[in-house]
Copies of this chain bind each other. A is one copy, B any other.
């Protein structure tokens, strides 16, 4: 009656997301937002379309998620060279959140590696990337 890979993935995803969300709570963002901020940082200023490709998210999803970060004053929207293009960049507050969150994020990474062991952690990474 083998297990459904998709359900296993979704359950693990929910559980692990909760772990990260709780760890990041002190800085007021959840894992998805923290990750989005990091992706912005790596390429700012960046258009929403590019951000979508980097994160493997639909552009409309990115658009809405970024809007929330903007309301939280963690990012700012600027004009790209193009009149169509909207570019996103971090605010000082956003940079601080990334800085303060780094150790919190690292703590969960370490916690997971401690639970699984180094070898299994590497296997997990490889398997998830292969999917």
Chain A residues in the interface with B (C-beta under 8 A) = 2-17, 19-20, 31-32, 35, 56, 105, 108-109, 112, 115-116, 120-121, 123-125, 127-131
Contacts and interface: CB of A to CB of B under 8 A. Distances in A.
Given A4-B31, A7-B31, A115-B131, 14 more contacts: A5-B124, A5-B125, A6-B13, A6-B31, A6-B35, A8-B125, A8-B129, A9-B13, A10-B32, A12-B128, A12-B131, A16-B131, A116-B130, A123-B123
Contacts of A32: 10
B14 A5 contact: no
B127 A5 contact: no
A46 to B, nearest CB: 17
A121 B7 CA distance: 14
Nearest to A38: B4
B127 A124 contact: yes
A131 B6 CA distance: 15
